[in-house]
Structure formats: structure tokens, C-alpha cells
Amino acid sequence: MLYLIGLGLSYKSDITVRGLEIVKKCSRVYLEHYTSILMAASKEELEEFYGNKVILADRELVESGAEEILKNSETEDVAFLVVGDPFGATTHTDLVLRAKQSNIPVEIVHNASVMNAVGACGLQLYNFGQTISMVFFTDNWRPDSWYGKIMENRRIGLHTLVLLDIKVKEQSIENMARGRLIYEPPRYMSISQCCEQLLEIEESRGTKAYTPDTPVVAISRLGSAGQSFKSGTIQELSEYDAGEPLHSLVILGRQCHELELEYLLEFCDNKEKFRNDILQDQEYFKPAPWVPPTEEEDED
């Protein structure tokens, strides 16, 4: 059996009881180590807690060496551990499909992820639209395919969750070209860098999916003892030091419920200004007022 087991957001003990019981009995335990990290637990701490050896699975192993993970899974119990929930990344869906194609039985053990824990900032989950990912820009690669999704969300009044890039066990272009297995130090995108990239793309696009004054909420170290939130505008948070990772951001939709607003006011520096920023932002994409049809239009 192949087990995909969610670990939750932060602590070694965030794993469910059922998940822990499964891990203890597995012959091999892989920890997916590139879409996210468990903030408050090291590999060694997990091994001690699980009573089992943990194999770190980088992007290359999961995406190109899935056969190694699936090897003998039809006769052995193999666990694939994912920070958050197993289906928080499309890569893991691919692993499940590969297993099923090989007639390997699969069982999923779910857990909390940023996709539902984001509600801790006070925004209501059913008011969220499409989630986007913000990657690190380079000198010659500045992708903006996510821009249209923000526009679509904002047009219908929905919030946009922005997942910030992390780089774990990544190679430089030079080392990759030369075939040298030398890896760069881990990098985690900050709130300020994400906001700077948002502003850069809006300036180049110029169609106002959002503006520098659009309200946003910074979410830092979600699910840990150091969890924190900060509300303000994109411009304001482009200068915000959010501290240690991990981070994510929410771009507010055109519609903000009064209860959501009251919650967000606890996280801003100037409540009156933030309330006004919300009211001003609601004018964007505001539907035109309804006008009764004329007699001629009725006849048509």
C-alpha cells in the first residue's frame, strides 16, 4: 500500500493519530521536501517521534524518480509524507495516478493546510477564489500568468490566496549546465518581495487588476507559535519585514464582509485609513447600477 499522509503545518505532533500509526509500521517513509517545510521540526526530530527512518524526497526524486518511491509498494507499506495536506500540490496527484496505473493500492490521510487554515486571518473561506503561486523573478524570467486569475477573482469580489515561492535544494544555472551537484542555500520569498513583484507586473500590465492601494493581508508562520498577520495596502506591505518564513499573502476581493473587516482591523497600523482603503477598493469592478429596460428593449 502507498500511503499519502498530511503532516499539518508546523509541529511534529500535528500529524493525525491514524497517520502516526501508519508511519510507524511502514518499511519506507519519504518526506516531500520542496513544496513546503515543517517549520518547527527537523528530520531528526521526526525520525525520533515516528520511530522510523525518514528519507528526504526532493523535486527530482518525486517528479523524475517516482518509480523508486513506488518500488515494491504492492507488497510493502510505503509512506509519502506531505507538509499540510497531500493534495496541496499537483505533483502528489501525479504520484497517485502513477500508483494506480501500476495497480498499487493508495490510501490518503488528510490534514490541515494553508488552504483552510488561512481562515485564521479573519477572511471567510467561501469568499476565496483561485489560488496563485508567486515565484522568484530572475533577470530574464518574470512570469505573470497568475495576473489574469487575480483579475477574475477581483471582478466577482473574491479574495486571492498567494502562495510564496520557496527554493530548497536548487542548483544555479551555471552548476546545472556543468552537471555539478552543488546546491544553493534555501531561500524563502518574503512578503515585501511578493508585493514588489505584484507592483512591477501591474505597472507593466496597466489594466488595474489591483493597484498599490489595494488591501492585502500578510500571513506569517501559519499554524506555529509565532503565527502573525498584518493588514495594509500592497504598497505598505512592500516595505514590511514579516520576519522568519513561511509566508503567504491574501489580496482582498472587491467585496469585504463587515465581519471580515472588523477582524482585519486588528492587524493594521491605522484602522481609519485601512477602513477607507477597503471602501475605496470596493469601487473597482463595481457592477453598474441596474437600469430598467425601455419599452423598445422590452419588445425586442
Per-position pLDDT tens, the chain of length 300: 999 999 999 999 999 999 999 999 999 999 998 888 898 999 999 999 999 999 998 887 887 778 899 999 999 999 999 999 999 877 789 899 999 999 999 999 999 999 999 999 999 999 999 999 999 999 999 999 999 999 999 999 999 999 999 987 665 566 556 666 556 678 999 999 999 999 999 999 999 999 999 999 999 999 999 999 999 999 999 999 999 999 999 999 988 999 999 999 999 999 999 999 999 998 888 877 777 777 765 555
Q: Quick one: 164 and 38 in the same domain?
A: no
The dihedral of CA 36, 42, 48, 54: what is its sign? positive
CA atoms within a 13 Å half-sphere pointing along the CA-CB vector of 91: 20
Which domain does 62 fall in, by range? 2-112
- Residue 260 counted as domain residue: yes
Q: Report the Cα 254 to chain-centroid distance in Å.
A: 21
Q: Quick one: 150 and 278 in the same domain?
A: yes
CA atoms within a 13 Å half-sphere pointing along the CA-CB vector of 64: 4
- Residue 290 counted as domain residue: no
Name the packing angle between helices 17-25 and 43-50 (round to 10°). 90
DSSP β-bridge partners for residue 247: 220
Q: Quick one: 149 and 136 in the same domain?
A: yes
Q: Is 157 annotated as a binding-site member?
A: no
Nearest of 6, 33, 36 to residue 20 by alpha carbon: 6
In this prediction, residue 60 carries a pLDDT of 78
Domain total of the chain: 2
Q: Is 113 annotated as a binding-site member?
A: yes
Query: What cell numbers appear for 118 in the block?
Result: 488561512
In this prediction, residue 88 carries a pLDDT of 84
Nearest of 117, 114, 95 to residue 106 by alpha carbon: 95
Nearest of 195, 197, 205 to residue 251 by alpha carbon: 195
- Residue 299 counted as domain residue: no
In this prediction, residue 126 carries a pLDDT of 95
Q: Quick one: 93 and 239 in the same domain?
A: no
What is the side-by-side strand order in the sheet with 132-134? Answer: 132-134, 160-164, 247-251, 215-220, 228-233
Contact 109, 6 (CB under 8 A): yes
Rounded to whole angstroms, the Cα distance separating 134 from 120 reads 21
Nearest of 122, 109, 68, 85 to residue 263 by alpha carbon: 122
Q: Is 300 annotated as a binding-site member?
A: no
Q: Is 222 annotated as a binding-site member?
A: yes
Q: Is 159 annotated as a binding-site member?
A: no
- Residue 59 counted as domain residue: yes
Residue partners of 145: CB distance under 8 A and separation at least 6? none
Nearest of 171, 165, 166, 201 to residue 184 by alpha carbon: 171
Q: Quick one: 48 and 128 in the same domain?
A: no
Contact 246, 168 (CB under 8 A): no
Q: Is 85 annotated as a binding-site member?
A: yes
Q: Give the domain CATH number at 96.
A: 3.40.1010.10
Q: Quick one: 97 and 145 in the same domain?
A: no
Q: Is 164 annotated as a binding-site member?
A: yes
Q: Is 95 annotated as a binding-site member?
A: no
Q: Quick one: 73 and 200 in the same domain?
A: no
Contact 160, 239 (CB under 8 A): no
